[in-house]
Amino acid sequence: MVQYKRIFLVLSVLLLVFAGALVTWPAQAQQRLICFNEVPYCIQGEIMEYWEANGGLPVFGFPTNDLRIEQIEDWTGPTQWFERDRLEDHSNEGLGVLAGRLGALLLEMQDTPWESFTRVPSAAAGCAYFPETQHSLCEPFLSYWRNNGGLPRFGYPITEPFIDTIQTDAGEWTGLIQYFERRRMEYHTELPGDPVLLGLLGNEIRAMQDTPPDGTPTVTPTAPPDDGDPTPTPTTEPDIDNTRIAFVSTRNGNHEIFVMDADGRNQQNLTNSLAKDRQPDWSPDGRRIAFVSDRDGSNDIHVMDADGSNQTRLTTDPSDNTYPSWSPDGERILFQSDRDGNEEIYVMNADGSAQTRLSQHPANDRDPSWSSDGTRILFRSDRDGSNNILVMNTDGSGQQRLTNDQFDNRAPVWSPWSPRTPLIAFQSDRDGNTDVYLMNTDGSNLVRLTNNLAIDGSPDWSPNAEKIVFETGRDGNSEIYVMNADGSAPTNLSQNPSDDYDPSWSP
Residues 339-377 have pLDDT tens digits of: 999 999 999 999 999 999 999 999 999 999 998 878 899
pLDDT given for residue 164 in this prediction: 86
CA distance 384 to 402: 13
Whether residue 90 is predicted with pLDDT greater than 60 in this model: the reply is: yes
Peptide bond into 140 cis (omega under 30): yes
With residue 145 as reference, give the H or E element that holds it. helix 141-147
Residue 17's pLDDT is what?
Answer: 39
Q: Quick one: which H or E segment has residue 103? A: helix 102-109
pLDDT, residue 81, reads 93
pLDDT mean across residues, the chain = 85
Q: How many CA atoms lie within 13 A of 75 on its CB side?
A: 16
Q: Rounded CA gap, 404 and 402, in Å?
A: 7
Q: Are 365 and 380 in contact (CB under 8 A)?
A: yes
* Type of residue found at 307: D
CATH superfamily of 242-505: TolB, C-terminal domain (2.120.10.30)
Distances (CA, A) of 17 to 13, 25, 39: 6, 18, 15
pLDDT category at 241 given cuts 50, 70, 90 is confident
In 10 A of CB 214, how many CB atoms?
A: 10
Residue 259 has what DSSP assignment?
Answer: E
Q: Show the 3-state SS of 455-491.
A: CEEEEEECCCCCEEEEEECCCCCCEEEEEECCCCCCE
Please give the pLDDT value at position 338. Answer: 95
pLDDT at 418: 58
Full-model pTM: 0.59
d(CA 83, CA 206): 9
Alpha-carbon distance of 77 to 263, in angstroms, equals 36
Q: Report yes or no: 105 and 209 within 8 Å, Cβ to Cβ.
A: no
Instruction: With beta carbons less than 8 A apart as the criterion, state whether 315 and 335 touch.
Output: yes
Which tens digits make up the pLDDT trace of 399-446? 999 999 999 999 999 998 655 667 999 999 999 999 999 999 889 989
Residues 6+ apart with CB under 8 A from 253: none
Kindly list the domain boundaries of the chain, sorted by start residue: 10-208, 242-505
Name the percent of the chain in helix, strand, coil, to the closest 5.
10, 35, 50
- Once rounded to an integer, what is the mean pLDDT over residues 482-505? 96
477: pLDDT strictly greater than 80:
yes
pLDDT in tens, 270-304: 999 899 999 999 998 899 999 999 999 999 999 99
What integer is the mean pLDDT of 200-218?
A: 65
d(CA 21, CA 37): 6
- Residue among 276, 280, 228, 239 nearest 471 (CA): 280
Within 13 Å, how many C-alpha atoms sit on residue 382's CB side?
Answer: 9
For 138-161, the pLDDT digits (tens) are: 999 999 998 888 888 899 999 999
Is-contact 256 246, C-beta < 8 A?
no
Q: How far is CA 139 from the centre of its chain?
A: 19
Structure confidence by residue, pLDDT tens digits, 48-58: 999 988 888 88
- C-alpha distances out from residue 242 to 174, 184, 186, 232, 418, Å: 51, 38, 43, 20, 18
